[in-house]
Amino acid sequence: MKKKTTTTSEPEGLRRRLTELRHALLKLHKALVDSEKVGYEKTMGQIPSPNHFLQLLTKDPWFAWLHPLSQLIVAMDEALDADEPLTADKVEALVRQSDLLLVVQESSDGFSGHYYQALQRDPDVVLAHAEVVKLRGPRKG
């Protein structure tokens, strides 16, 4: 991601807020990937190389549930790198997407169910989740 400086047409603090949330989501993503890798290797055997692991992350159904989080981080990157200034509406929409995605639901087969399981088994995921929650601010509606 290229470094972009704040423009005068951008309300103060928006870029910092989005950058900090993006950074926290990256840490959460890494904690989730690391946690899933441990589970995968316990079940399927050792992953032979970093390249093979990258292939698994992008194509294996085991890791597919992580894709929405990856896509959210990419959307944040695109907003931060865009030629037009950030707007409060754009930043709030991305924060809201994180609110909607990071729902913990024990009985779900989708992201929220896998996320629940990761939170139950891995303290690193819990710590990364807490950082994201702190940066997101209070939930709205």
18-63 pLDDT, tens digit each? 999 999 999 999 999 999 999 999 999 999 999 999 999 999 999 9
Residue type for position 72: L
Contacts of 85 (CB under 8 A, 6+ apart): 7, 9, 10
Residue type for position 15: R
Confidence (pTM) = 0.88
Q: Binning pLDDT at 50, 70 and 90, where does residue 130 land?
A: very high
Q: Is residue 137 over pLDDT 90? A: no
pLDDT at 139: 58
Residue type for position 135: L
